[in-house]
Structure 1
Amino acid sequence: MLLFGLGIAVVGLGLALSIALHELGHLVPAKLFGVRVTQYMIGFGPTLLSRTRGETEYGLKAIPLGGYIRMIGMYPPHKGEPEGTIREDSTGLLQQITELSDEAKAYESAQYGPEDAHRTFVALSVPKKLVVMLGGPAMNLLISVVLMLVLVSGIGLPAITPTVQSVSECVVPADAPADVSCVGRPPAPALAAGIRPGDTLREIDGHRIQRWQDVTTAVREAGDRAVDVVVERDGEELELQATMVVDDRPVLDEDGAAVHDAAGDLVTEQVGFLGVAGTPDLEPQSPAAVPEMAWTAFTGTGRLVLTLPVRLWEVGQAAFGSAERDPDGPLGVVGVSRLAGEVASAEQPGFELREKTGTMVSMLASLNMALFVFNLVPLLPLDGGHVAGALLEGARRSLARLRGRPDPGPVDMSRMLPVTNAVALVLLVMTVLLLYADIVKPITLFP
């Protein structure tokens, strides 16, 4: 139970830091561009603690489900109405939007005086608005990539290493079952050469061995010749000789996986055979593997976001019915915390501290990639909504210049408040649904 709680604490702290750095990605460029930032808050709801530094209040709130910074002048200033204007009563949608917009702009305008009009967010140029609003998601992307680098080049990825896990007793067909009898079959070259489990292969037929792929290449190219094999045993290198045999072995793809034909049958070829199996372990890789990993995570998260309504419907069917949760489906904070606890407290063979640490780092990298992608959705109140507004503003101004017309001014995002409120309600419902599903029908890593 202690380890379970420790896992939750580690991921919880990592998520809190990710949120804090996301908001820092907004805060720093906003202050650099001269915008007055009145609040920097982690969480929502009642304030637990806060401290004011300069003109900004920094604080922690009770509900740790996000964060925000508050900049003055998010909407164009409310100019009021000319004296004597009579507004007709109306229940029409446009009239309601106008009233809601006017109220929001009036509230915003009341938060600062004329002396700070040039320090509002709305007064920024389009490029500066984009930098401020993309700063948060960009920070999450940076965190995700850095964590992937730590995972790939520091901790390592699952791989087969040249340390011998087992030695075949005889030469058996490539598609033979594990319990096939060796009666009447020739001994495997590795067994006859004296190679033992625990030996580390260092050289085969003059080829230096760094990775398991080097073993596969050297063995397959050796044919049926007698070759020198250098192994490391108990800290010493021993030179052995193995008389190879040619046998039907699986054709391997670029990733080292066996190839099957359209009918599902194993595709084989005549190549050299030694008869050893490597040991699965975490093996550090080149940093060059990170871009591909990041792209895979980005596209996978993007597909999840694009299909989110369908995925949430499936979550609802599982939570309120007999369907099973999709292990690759969306998770809430409770679900992520539960998985972190399982990872920390797991007692699976071969799943030790290094593997647990790698899994935790991978989870935090995935969470930050999810924050990056989700915040790019072009809907308010998400960052992508403000980005879309800035791009629209830039397009309007460019079009006005081309036509020789006056500057149309900033886009009035207050007109989108009904949509903002609707999206916020959807996000709240989604959060509650995932919270409920993570409790009554949780996703687990270990059966």
Structure 2
Amino acid sequence: MEILISALQLLLGLSFLVGVHELGHLWAAKAFGIRVETFSIGFPPKLLSFKIGETEYCLSAIPLGGYVKIAGMIDESLDTEQLKSEPQAWEFRSKPAWQRLIVMLGGIIVNVIVGVVIFIIYTFSFPDSYYPMQEVNKHGIYPSELGTSLGFQKGDKIQRVNGRTLQSFNELANPATILEGGNIEVERNGTIVSLPITDDFIRQFSTNKSARGFVSPLMPFKVGEVMPKKPAALAGLQVGDSILSINEQNIRYFQDLQTAIAEGKGKKLTIKALRQNQEVVVEADLSKDSLLGIRPEIKLQTREESYTFAQAMQVGSVRAFEVVFLQLAGMKQIVSGTIPMSESVGGLISIGKFYGGIWNWERFWFLTGMLSMVLAFMNLLPIPALDGGHVMFLLYEMIAGKPAPEKVMEIAQRVGMVILIALMVFANGMDIWKAIRGWIGL
């Protein structure tokens, strides 16, 4: 069922984004009196279609994109027969270069508008909840194995990243923060220590989702809930207890508790706790159950920040374009060889995993907004068969004062289609290979 829900969210999100993208081309073309012969979501074979005026609207079987067939233009259909006749007033090729440029940018512009609008509405609708860095630095951070490899130590207090003071702990795990490289300054025992962000760290951060938690805030806690019939309940732990030690190992933070439980699996734990200013000692038996059976009440103070609609317009717009800057930073790391392309690209399976197996509209629209900005960015790349390839030829025409030869454009379109198909096969092939590796435990 989770796979089905993930697939449905992926299909809905991509169909929506492809639809509005192609509508951008259609609206721009019709605005300049250019005939649009076909508007399709998905690639043939057709599942259903209807005609309004001179345009056939289709829903097709292969949900890997979509297209509009604009009269008088060399496009994905590679139909060049109509180009052998004299240009007609309603054809793409008969219009001024600036109008053709707007038509080719129409899909990208609409994707940007949709992405920005989604981010604005999302920012307005859902308050930010985060740990202020000032609150985190009362106790410091706890590094994972990856964080330790970068040089972090338990209790380090984050001061600056590339000379910038962070306001929220969320900023530290933001890919845009890490991909720019540089260094992270921490306070350790009263001394400022600089930790360089290495290429190896960037590679692991970018290719392993769990690496995003390379550090976490140290979390003081007390017992918030005791699960029935679990070792904690059977031992007599109570809601509100503060655990002081386990098997004489001091417990101050929730991470200490997790470590002590992991080390105590299969054993009896002697737990010392503070209850209403009195120490109590209980024994929990983990020989038959690896879970202690409590849920913590974290004592760190979170902050919620809501935005007026005017504020959301500014903050949401910035967040939308941060997605584009992140794509640029990631591409730079791929080109430099820091991040292997085989680990950084993903196909439909990867996107579906982001949507997840539980239908959550908040997450759905956030991811769809991100994908809208990514789609705009990818389509602007100067690859023939993408909008950016057409834009490249149109800019050449506007600068040179004459269009590129039709034969050159036809060949470029064919080469571009081969490149796009190869990229799709590669991305989806890597998804399948990663899934196989996971199944067989490689």
1:278 counterpart SS class: coil
2-side partners of 1:311 and 1:176: how far apart? 31
1:334 aligns with 2:334: no
* Partner amino acid, structure 1, of 2:73: M
- 1:111-158 deviation line (CA, Å, top 9, x unaligned): xx75x7111111111221111000001111111111111221112333
Summarize the alignment of residues 229-240 of structure 1 with structure 2, pairs less than 5 Å apart: none
Residue among 76, 95, 107 paired with 1:136: 107
* Partner amino acid, structure 2, of 1:340: Y
1-side partners of 2:106 and 2:404: how far apart? 20
1:109 aligns with 2:102: no
**Counterpart in 2 of 1:217?**
none
**Counterpart in 1 of 2:119?**
148
**Counterpart in 1 of 2:324?**
298
* Partner amino acid, structure 1, of 2:386: L
- TM-score with structure 1 setting the length: 0.57
**Counterpart in 2 of 1:432?**
425
Counting matched residue pairs gives 298
Q: Is the 8 A contact 1:43 1:66 kept in 2?
A: yes
Residue among 89, 98, 104 paired with 1:127: 98
Instruction: Quote how far apart the aligned CAs of 1:374 are.
Output: 0.7
**Counterpart in 2 of 1:278?**
301
2-side partners of 1:341 and 1:291: how far apart? 25
Q: Say if 1:278 and 1:123 are closer, same or farther in 2 by CA, change over 3 A.
A: same
Q: Is the 8 A contact 1:174 1:250 kept in 2?
A: no
1:35 counterpart SS class: coil
1:53 aligns with 2:52: yes
2-side partners of 1:315 and 1:340: how far apart? 22
Q: Please, what is the CA RMSD of the aligned residues?
A: 4.0
Q: Say if 1:306 and 1:41 are closer, same or farther in 2 by CA, change over 3 A.
A: farther
Q: Say if 1:339 and 1:174 are closer, same or farther in 2 by CA, change over 3 A.
A: closer
Q: Say if 1:265 and 1:440 are closer, same or farther in 2 by CA, change over 3 A.
A: same
- 1:50-74 deviation line (CA, Å, top 9, x unaligned): 1111111110111111111111112
**Counterpart in 1 of 2:188?**
265
Q: Is the 8 A contact 1:377 1:384 kept in 2?
A: yes
1:420 aligns with 2:413: yes
2-side partners of 1:72 and 1:176: how far apart? 60
Q: Say if 1:441 and 1:146 are closer, same or farther in 2 by CA, change over 3 A.
A: same
**Counterpart in 2 of 1:381?**
385
Q: Is the 8 A contact 1:38 1:56 kept in 2?
A: yes
Q: Is the 8 A contact 1:251 1:267 kept in 2?
A: no
2:119 counterpart SS class: helix
2:47 counterpart SS class: strand
Summarize the alignment of residues 33-72 of structure 1 with structure 2, pairs less than 5 Å apart: 33-72=32-71
Instruction: Quote how far apart the aligned CAs of 1:175 are.
Output: 5.5
Q: Say if 1:26 and 1:312 are closer, same or farther in 2 by CA, change over 3 A.
A: farther
Instruction: Quote how far apart the aligned CAs of 1:359 are.
Output: 2.7
Q: Radius of gyration: which is bigger?
A: 1
Q: Say if 1:366 and 1:382 are closer, same or farther in 2 by CA, change over 3 A.
A: same
1-side partners of 2:141 and 2:91: how far apart? 73
2-side partners of 1:120 and 1:289: how far apart? 41
Instruction: Quote how far apart the aligned CAs of 1:373 are.
Output: 0.5
1:34 counterpart SS class: coil
**Counterpart in 2 of 1:213?**
none
* Partner amino acid, structure 2, of 1:304: G
2-side partners of 1:420 and 1:337: how far apart? 30
1:38 counterpart SS class: strand
Instruction: Quote how far apart the aligned CAs of 1:292 are.
Output: 2.4
Summarize the alignment of residues 12-411 of structure 1 with structure 2, pairs less than 5 Å apart: 12-74=11-73, 105=80, 107-109=81-83, 117-160=88-131, 174=139, 253-257=165-169, 262=185, 265=188, 277-279=300-302, 286-287=311-312, 288-305=314-331, 314=340, 316=342, 325=343, 329-342=344-357, 344=358, 356-397=360-401, 408=402, 410-411=403-404
* Partner amino acid, structure 1, of 2:328: G
Instruction: Quote how far apart the aligned CAs of 1:267 are.
Output: 5.6
Deviates more, 1:430-439 or 1:11-20: 430-439
2-side partners of 1:261 and 1:420: how far apart? 46
2-side partners of 1:312 and 1:335: how far apart? 21
Q: Say if 1:57 and 1:174 are closer, same or farther in 2 by CA, change over 3 A.
A: closer
- TM-score with structure 2 setting the length: 0.58
2-side partners of 1:333 and 1:312: how far apart? 24
Q: Is the 8 A contact 2:383 2:389 kept in 1?
A: yes
2:21 counterpart SS class: helix
Q: Say if 1:307 and 1:120 are closer, same or farther in 2 by CA, change over 3 A.
A: farther
Instruction: Quote how far apart the aligned CAs of 1:250 are.
Output: 8.0
Q: How many percent of aligned residue pairs carry the same amino acid? A: 25
Q: Is the 8 A contact 1:155 1:282 kept in 2?
A: no
Q: Say if 1:134 and 1:306 are closer, same or farther in 2 by CA, change over 3 A.
A: farther
- 1:298-323 deviation line (CA, Å, top 9, x unaligned): 1111233456678899354xxxxxxx
2-side partners of 1:176 and 1:146: how far apart? 36
Q: Is the 8 A contact 2:11 2:63 kept in 1?
A: no
Structure 1 runs (4+) greater than 4 angstroms displaced: 172-177, 249-252, 256-264, 266-269, 280-285, 305-313
2-side partners of 1:149 and 1:357: how far apart? 15
2-side partners of 1:148 and 1:302: how far apart? 19
* Partner amino acid, structure 2, of 1:157: D
* Partner amino acid, structure 2, of 1:255: Q
Q: Is the 8 A contact 1:43 1:64 kept in 2?
A: yes
Q: Say if 1:307 and 1:67 are closer, same or farther in 2 by CA, change over 3 A.
A: farther
Deviates more, 1:423-432 or 1:53-62: 423-432
Instruction: Quote how far apart the aligned CAs of 1:433 are.
Output: 2.1
Instruction: Quote how far apart the aligned CAs of 1:377 are.
Output: 1.0
1-side partners of 2:131 and 2:119: how far apart? 20
Q: Say if 1:173 and 1:388 are closer, same or farther in 2 by CA, change over 3 A.
A: closer
